[in-house]
Amino acid sequence: MVPRVDVTVDSPRRLYLVGFMGAGKSTVGRTLADRLGWDFVELDAEIEGVAGRTIPAIFREEGEPAFRDLEHRVLRRVSRREPPCVVACGGGVPLSERNRRILMETGLPVHLMVRPETVLERLDQDGSRPLLPGGDRREERLKRLWQERQDAYNAFDRSVVTDDRSVDDVVDRVLALLDGIGT
């Protein structure tokens, strides 16, 4: 059994995991929430619940701008929910200024870093991301998207590299970041 970790953070006990698709936000987030004894919230699942449809269906039927609007509204709602909780954010959440403001003002955002090569390996057969369709331009598309997003992800000063690391290792490193706060 994995020991619980007590965190003495006075500042909002709401941890946001951000980063590119395939960074491991959901997997790490679940384990992290278990270790802390906090709730786990998966933003994409919340969006699907509100919309009554899957993310690919929302993209297909309403387009990306409508998805981003919904994503923002759901993020705002989650940011007002009673802490403590760990929130795994979809990869596009930090792209807008209004979302970055929510993340920074209502919790502690941590960037899970991942190289594009690792994303390709981790999401090899995964066809569930509308922004990363299969086909021979997948790699090129992924690398372009990854590059375009680095400034937005780098807006957060706490980050953990996830490449070549186990989930437990990444979780320990995120917990170490929390440890220095409010203690």
**Which stretches of the chain bind ligand S3P, using CB under 6 A?**
21, 25, 44, 55, 90-92, 129-131
Smallest separation, CB 21 to ligand S3P (Å): 4
Q: Which of 19, 145, 154 is nearest to 88 (CA)?
A: 19
Smallest separation, CB 158 to ligand S3P (Å): 18
Residue with Cβ nearer ligand S3P (90 or 107):
90
Rg (CA), the chain: 16
Smallest separation, CB 165 to ligand S3P (Å): 18
Tokens 């970041």 -> residue:
177
**Buried/exposed code over 21-47 (b: 16+ C-beta within 10 A; e: otherwise):** bbbbbbbbbbbbbebbebebbbbbebb
Residue with Cβ nearer ligand S3P (21 or 174):
21
CA 102 – CA 74 distance, rounded (Å): 11
Burial of 93 from C-beta contacts in 10 A (0-12 / 13-18 / 19+): buried
Residue with Cβ nearer ligand S3P (7 or 79):
79
> How many Å from the N-terminal Cα to the C-terminal Cα in the chain?
26
Smallest separation, CB 128 to ligand S3P (Å): 8
Smallest separation, CB 159 to ligand S3P (Å): 16
Residue with Cβ nearer ligand S3P (117 or 179):
117
Smallest separation, CB 93 to ligand S3P (Å): 7
Residue with Cβ nearer ligand S3P (21 or 178):
21
Q: What percentage of the chain's residues is helix, strand, coil (to nearest 5)? A: 50, 10, 35
Residue with Cβ nearer ligand S3P (9 or 87):
87
